[in-house]
């Protein structure tokens, strides 16, 4: 076998390997983009569920006006006291 024949065969295999690598990189890039799209769709769905759950929880945990006035009476706080404290800080 001559050196020219060996170099030609090696060059052909190298070219095929490079083409195969390019196709593989393209396939990996597509898979990563598909994964990103799926994750973003799932995050949007999770955000919707979280916001709905939060909207359902807020009316349950928000104190009523009676509770707020009871707390002020218990701790002796008025809006004037709180606002003057905030101006000092």
Token pair, residue 36, equals: 């990103």
Record the pTM: 0.53
86 belongs to a structural domain: no
89 belongs to a structural domain: no
Q: How many domains does the chain have?
A: 1
36 belongs to a structural domain: yes
Quote the domain boundaries for residue 30.
3-63
76 belongs to a structural domain: no
50 belongs to a structural domain: yes
DSSP assignment of the chain? --HHHHHHHHHHHHHHHHHHHHHHHHHHHHHHHHHHHHHHHHHHHHHHHHHHHHHHHHHHHSPPHHHHHHHHHHHT--HHHHHHHHHH-
Q: Each residue of 12-28: pLDDT tens digit?
A: 999 999 999 999 999 99
83 belongs to a structural domain: no
Q: Each residue of 33-75: pLDDT tens digit?
A: 999 999 999 999 999 999 999 888 877 655 555 666 666 666 6
59 belongs to a structural domain: yes
* pLDDT for the residue 70: 65
């Amino acid at each position: 076998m001559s050196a020219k024949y060996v170099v030609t065969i090696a060059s052909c295999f190298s070219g095929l390997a490079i083409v195969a690598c390019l196709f593989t990189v393209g396939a990996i890039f597509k898979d990563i983009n598909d994964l990103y799209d799926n994750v973003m769709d799932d995050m949007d769905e999770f955000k919707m569920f979280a916001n709905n759950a939060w909207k359902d929880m807020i009316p349950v945990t928000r104190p009523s006006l009676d509770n707020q006035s009871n707390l002020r009476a218990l701790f002796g706080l008025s809006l004037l006291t709180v606002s003057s404290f905030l101006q000092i800080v």
